[in-house]
Chains A and B, each alone.
Chain A
Amino acid sequence: MGGFKRWLAGALGALAMAVPLALPAQGAGVDLERIRGPKVRDLYLVVVRDPDAAILALERGKLDILGDVTRPSDIRRLSKDPRFSLSMAENFHMAQVGFNLRKFPWNVQELRRAAAMAIPRDRLVRELFSGYSAPLTTFLPPVSPYCDKSAAAPGLDAEGARALLKKAGWTWNGSGILVPPGSKTPLPPATILSPTAGVAPTTAELADRIAAALREIGIPVKAEPLDFAAMVQRIDERKFDLYLMAWQLGRDPDSLYSFYHSSMDVRGGYNQTGLKDAVMDGLLEALRYSPDEPAARKAAKAVQKALADRLPIIPIYTRYSVAAVSREWKGAVVTKASAADNSWSLLSMEPASGRERPLYWALGDEPRTLNPFTASTATDWQVLGLVYDTLLAVNPNDLSDLPWLARSWKVETMAKAGAPKTRLTFSLRGDVFWQDGKPFTAKDVKATLLFLKKHAIPRYFDSVRDIESVTVPDDRTVVVTMKNVSYWHLHSIGGLPLFPAALLDRIRDWRSWQPSRTPLPGKTGLTELYGTGPFVFRESKAGDFVRFTRNERFWLIPR
């Protein structure tokens, strides 16, 4: 912990702030081996959408865990209160400015570089977020195990930006607007699209500030806040100059392929900037189809280097996630990559006094739907994730893979006949039961994969589309053969929620299926919303709470 000396020798010189800083370690990693739970018997996920109400409910003991504390005023208030412990973690959030590379002048590389040098990230973070965000210069969030901190966009240097443009032959007209080399006409006015306050209250203002910074070096840009959907539509139609957008990325750097591969510059594709670069494509393909982890790591590094050269986007900032936990509870799991509001905490938390009582966990929004096939919001999955389990879990310490329902696994490249293919072999645990008492077997995994593939369910479409075959040599082994080679298949398949085969047979229409409202025949208190997860869904009271009880058959509970 801490150990900061009063006389800090030279660690923080001037301008050191441009580099995103690692947070202080909040513990030397969590020993996952010792987690045996869940220990709580009753769990309520309480819907509190209003942040004020959430803070006050916490203070009155009506809530025990509150995640996503974003407002500086709340952080300040809770940090002063000895009844709570706060934790802070980095996450995969990433706000960036994108250029429309299909258009002049945004296709000019030195202009983009100069723009990146004109944006005062530190000031923006200070003034808009009171410091509870980190200025970002990398192309993956620093928390990502694949992030290459040396491949970074340039930091603030407005003078340097002007010098760079001057050297490339740009001039400025009488009113300080840039004139391209060899031309007489100054740059035409442009706009930077941003969502309005409805989505992210500070984003519209951030766009205003960025536009002002760009005008400082002579790029005539104005902010144009739009309804989120309208903005996305404009970007999809490629009718834009610049845009400001925040992403919540996944653990794998695979998303870079969607953002920057030329084949993704189609309707509905995510290559919004329109980067078309053969070298880049090659690097991205190497990343997407890398056969194993070391190859993936190497490819990711190369991609980030290439991005830092080309700068199709300018990274701006990444948010920290902050969570508060009542000190009446002990055992919350906090790591560098995960604040206390995670599922590991639910497995290990217990009342500090030893006296049994229900745990109240804040849910930031009403769950939209409890149908796992159509559920899409983080809130939905905060609920569903307690019921459904996956083959692999993510280690909260270093974001590596962790055995879960699969005791072990193998990733192989089969190159016998025809094109090479990735083959995944999972060996399942033998002590896992569905919440209705039936044993969990390889057949359930197979049925889940085939069901998702057969119905082309949008949420899982990309994960299962490349499955060629699923075989079940025995009750404990699943072999999934993919159509092509990619290390990421392991995470796509290993991260899917698993459903009982017996239930999947009964689902007529997955769109309108409402498992939480359909009682399970012959089992009192159970609904069709059941899995192998640590908690059993009991009831959902719209607008108020979702109630769970401990799954007494959960495999991590010592027997």
Chain B
Amino acid sequence: MRPVKRYWTRRLGGAACVVAIVLVANFFLFRLMPGDPVATVLDPRFSPEAKAQLEALYGLDQPLGVQFLLYLRRMATFDFGLSFSTQRPVLEEILERLPNTLALLVPAYLLSVLLGTVLGVIAARRRGHLAEKAVLAAGAVSFSFPSFFVQMVLLLLFAYVFPVFPLRGSLSIPPPEGTWRILADRIWHLALPVFSLVLLGFGGWALTVRNLVVKVMGEDFMILARAKGIGERRLLWGHALRAALPPLLTLFLLSLPGVVSGAVLTETVFSLHGVGRFLLDSVLGQDYPAAGGAFYLLTLITVGSNLLADFLVQLADPRIKTGGEESR
């Protein structure tokens, strides 16, 4: 399987490239950020000497070259240093928030793909039908409405006007007793954010599925299959969907980075304690170890899951052309 091997060398090379670029960019971008953290300590009770002490504490008194080498070594070991603002290891801060972000994104994404696929196939079969119109409308919403605006309106409706869902956070105060109650409480807190993401996400997906299936249905082998007398239902869910799978999977991969972007906005609207919100706070607060670490980790996660998903696609269907974008 030579081409496969070559394909993977290229894929891995590309991935390494991304990481390297992000690493270098990260260092210089955040070093160039205006101001230094010591400057933001504004308290007339701090004398100039006390501020110098603070600067040494942050390690800002070393030359840039030395700082870069130290930085590379630390990045390799996931040691992002201490956050300027919290004085805690950045990795620890991120890992603490990661479960919240995953608990939001994974169900939201899976649900919207599932719902989108089902609706997309239905819309493809019944053209001009209500289902198709719904899919088209939902698709238009997801492409043209600002996601945060839709979420704000949902929040206004379901947490303020009709207080069905909680306002903030991921757990009630005080937290309920018992594992099941805590689990239920968490789900209740995540329901609205997840629902909003599904609402925003399934339309675009459904639209793509519909277009692909419509295209596939018109192809020769489908006409042949229909002529053979295969039932419409099996034709649609079996043959057509399977034929549409490879481009769908590619699209799935391509949309991963966008999901991460969605996390920043969703966590901001619903005040969730996740990685996206952490990144925003760090950027706004000029906390560059934290912002750099979060950004680097987000990239690693997207690149990594991209590769993983690519690999899974290969496993699932070895016939898929190993040309990446040429297949589109």
Contact = CB atoms under 8 A, between A and B. Distances in A.
Given A56-B167, A198-B284, A544-B273, A249 B35 contact: no
Interface stretch (B11-19, B42-50, B257-265, B296-304): B42-50
B173 A62 contact: yes
Given A230-B34, A232-B35, A542-B273, A458 B51 contact: yes
A231 B47 CA distance: 19
B28 interface: no
A511 B273 contact: no
B194 to A, nearest CB: 18
A62 B96 CA distance: 25
Contact of A266 (B48, B54, B100): B48
Given A60-B163, A259-B44, A542 B96 contact: yes
Contact of B48 (A269, A358, A374): A269
A317 interface: no
A458 B53 contact: yes
Interface stretch (A13-21, A44-52, A115-123, A478-486): A44-52
B47 A462 contact: yes
Contacts of B208: none
B144 interface: no
Given A229-B39, A369-B88, A465-B49, 10 more contacts: A52-B167, A56-B167, A229-B33, A233-B39, A247-B44, A268-B48, A358-B174, A462-B47, A462-B50, A543-B272
A375 B160 CA distance: 35
B313 interface: no
A543 B175 CA distance: 13
B37 interface: yes
Contacts of B168: 48, 50, 53, 57
A267 interface: yes
A283 B186 CA distance: 61
A337 B85 CA distance: 29
A545 B172 CA distance: 10
A258 interface: yes
Interface residues of B, number: 46
Nearest to B84: A368
Given A461-B50, A544-B171, A233 B44 contact: no
A461 B51 CA distance: 9
Instruction: Rank and list the top 4 A-B pairs by shortest CB-CB distance, nearest first.
Output: A229-B35, A543-B273, A230-B34, A255-B44
Interface in B145-174: 159-160, 163, 167-171, 173-174
A369 B36 contact: no
A309 to B, nearest CB: 21
B47 A461 contact: yes
A236 B53 contact: no
Contacts of A50: 167-168, 271
Contacts of A259: 44
A376 B50 CA distance: 13
Contact of B170 (A264, A465, A543): A543
A93 to B, nearest CB: 13
A457 B271 CA distance: 34
Given A458-B54, A545-B173, A258 B45 contact: yes
A228 B87 contact: no
A544 B169 contact: yes
Contacts of A376: 41
B167 A369 contact: no
A251 to B, nearest CB: 11
Contacts of B48: 264, 266-269
B175 to A, nearest CB: 7
A545 B170 CA distance: 11
A258 B40 contact: no
B320 interface: no
B273 A268 contact: no
A474 interface: no
A268 B47 CA distance: 8
A277 interface: no
11 contacts: A46-B173, A50-B271, A56-B159, A60-B163, A236-B39, A247-B44, A249-B44, A254-B45, A267-B48, A369-B88, A544-B169
A514 interface: yes
Contacts of B171: 541, 544
A227 interface: yes
A458 B167 contact: no
A250 B45 CA distance: 8
Contacts of B52: 268
A426 interface: no
A48 to B, nearest CB: 7
B312 interface: no
B131 to A, nearest CB: 37
Given A368-B85, A368-B86, A544 B170 contact: yes
Contact of B87 (A250, A268, A374, A456): A374
B306 interface: no
Contacts of B51: 268, 458
A269 B42 CA distance: 10
Contact of B34 (A233, A258, A456): A233
Interface string B66-98: 000000000000000010011110000000110
Contacts of B167: 50, 52-53, 56-57
A458 B273 CA distance: 30
A547 to B, nearest CB: 8
A371 interface: yes
